[in-house]
Copies of this chain bind each other. A is one copy, B any other.
Amino acid sequence: MEEDGKGQAADRGEGAPTLEDVARRAGVSTATVSRALNTPERVAPPTREKVDAAVRALGYVPNFGARAMAARRTNTIGAIIPTMENAIFARGIQAFQEALQAEGYTLLVASSLYDPAVEEAEVRALVARGAEGLLLIGHDRDPAITRFLAARGIPAVVTWTWQADGPVPSVGFDNRATMQEMAGQVIAMGHRRLAAISAPTAANDRARARVEGIRAAMAAAGLDPAALDVVETPYGIDTGAAAFARLMSRQHPPTAVICGNDVLAAGALRAAHEMGIDVPGRVSVTGFDDIDLAEVVRPALTTVHVPHRKMGRAAAAALVAMIRGGPTPASTRLVAEIRLRASLAPPPADAPPG
């Protein structure tokens, strides 16, 4: 397109038509065209029709950047998620977007790949594009980012986690308490030697909270929290399988493996199958998130049902309220329920105590 620029430009009639082109063709001023497009009720019907005809004839599409600059509004909201490849985010974000759209906002999504530096860059990029509000995942991040947003007066909501107070209001569930409940169930089944497969906890407060939840349940049951055998590994079925294999090769393998998410758990189940280890006969496995996978896998996965869609909708409502000038709302706590399925059962009778 740039080889010489002249022939091409002719092909497409000197670039995209502008408001002025429309105005000229309709025989009115640019102000009138602008009004016909944005506040049609303030333009006389015959004028409106002339403008509409010109718009159609020219294939006119308003330039978003110019509009944003002149109107000083973008009706755009940004969201930064760790990755689109994780189904749990895809679902929540979809609901978030639908709710925003109903309110007249457009969503821009970026992914941070779990890298804090990338996340910071994405925050700036979204702000540069005029985001009037931001959805973020989790609380772990450089306070400078929060300060930056506050200085700009850009509201933000954190989700996929819940914290009564924090620099940013949250809409989500209590990862620690929920996982404690899950681990409590496992212990109640009679398990004493627990292990966990967790996502890397470094810059991930959700993963950290979940591991803490397990330890809390152990402490509450009189077990030594320090005895929890934790393997951290990146997200993925293969990595989950490898982690499970590692845990089961310990001198005293666990009777229950609590996984930080369903994908890791699915990997554990696959590894168990490959290793000829019976689940839940010999070892129980639990997940977290309740993605579709959980019900399809054999044995079906005991997991925590996270209300992704509800979370997305609630986050959208909170953010829109803030943008429209409401006071900073309190954090909203949703409940995530345990779904008991076949992968959790009492430990084998011959299992030695923890």
Residues of A in contact (CB 8 Å), total 66
Q: Which residues of B contact A65 (CB under 8 A)?
A: 64-66, 68-69, 74, 129-130
Q: Which residues of B contact A84 (CB under 8 A)?
A: 84, 90, 93-94
Q: Is A350 an interface residue (CB 8 A)?
A: no
Q: Which of A65, A263, A325 has the most CB of B within 10 A?
A: A65
Q: Is A326 an interface residue (CB 8 A)?
A: yes
Cross-chain contact B153 with A8 (CB below 8 angstroms): yes
Q: How many copies does the complex hold?
A: 2
Q: Is A166 an interface residue (CB 8 A)?
A: no
8 Å CB contacts to B: which residues of A9-39?
Answer: 9, 11-13, 15-16
Nearest chain-B residue to A328 (Cβ)?
B1
CB distance from A320 to the nearest CB of B (A): 12
Cross-chain contact B296 with A151 (CB below 8 angstroms): no
Q: Is A85 an interface residue (CB 8 A)?
A: yes
CB distance from A2 to the nearest CB of B (A): 4
Nearest chain-B residue to A298 (Cβ)?
B298
Give the docked Cα–Cα distance between A2 and B154 (Å). Answer: 10
Q: Which residues of B contact A269 (CB under 8 A)?
A: 296
Cross-chain contact A326 with B68 (CB below 8 angstroms): no
Give the docked Cα–Cα distance between A237 and B267 (Å). Answer: 19
Among the stretches A55-63, A185-193, A218-226, the one at the interface with B is A55-63
Q: Which residues of B contact A298 (CB under 8 A)?
A: 273, 297-298
Give the docked Cα–Cα distance between A325 and B6 (Å). Answer: 12
Give the docked Cα–Cα distance between A13 and B111 (Å). Answer: 30
Answer whether A293 and B295 are a contact pair too, CB < 8 Å, given A2-B324, A90-B85, A152-B12: no
Give the docked Cα–Cα distance between A186 and B61 (Å). Answer: 50
Contact of A237 among B69, B152, B263, B296 (CB under 8 A): B296
Q: Which residues of B contact A91 (CB under 8 A)?
A: 85
Cross-chain contact B59 with A151 (CB below 8 angstroms): yes
Question: What 1/0 flags go to A118-143 for Cβ under 8 Å of B?
Answer: 00000011011110000000000000
8 Å CB contacts to B: which residues of A273-316?
Answer: 273, 292-293, 295-298
Contact of A69 among B69, B90, B152 (CB under 8 A): B69
Q: Which residues of B contact A94 (CB under 8 A)?
A: 83-85, 111
Give the docked Cα–Cα distance between A354 and B238 (Å). Answer: 40
Give the docked Cα–Cα distance between A128 and B66 (Å). Answer: 10
Q: Is A352 an interface residue (CB 8 A)?
A: no
Q: Is A109 an interface residue (CB 8 A)?
A: yes
Q: Is A233 an interface residue (CB 8 A)?
A: no
28 contacts between A and B (CB under 8 A): A1-B150, A1-B325, A2-B153, A5-B325, A9-B153, A12-B151, A15-B153, A61-B127, A61-B128, A63-B128, A63-B130, A64-B125, A64-B128, A65-B65, A65-B130, A83-B94, A84-B84, A87-B87, A90-B90, A106-B125, A237-B295, A237-B296, A269-B296, A270-B295, A273-B298, A292-B293, A296-B296, A297-B297
Other than A65-B66, A85-B87, A270-B296, give 10 A-B pairs with Cβ distance below 8 A: A2-B155, A11-B153, A12-B152, A15-B153, A59-B152, A65-B68, A65-B129, A66-B69, A83-B94, A109-B109
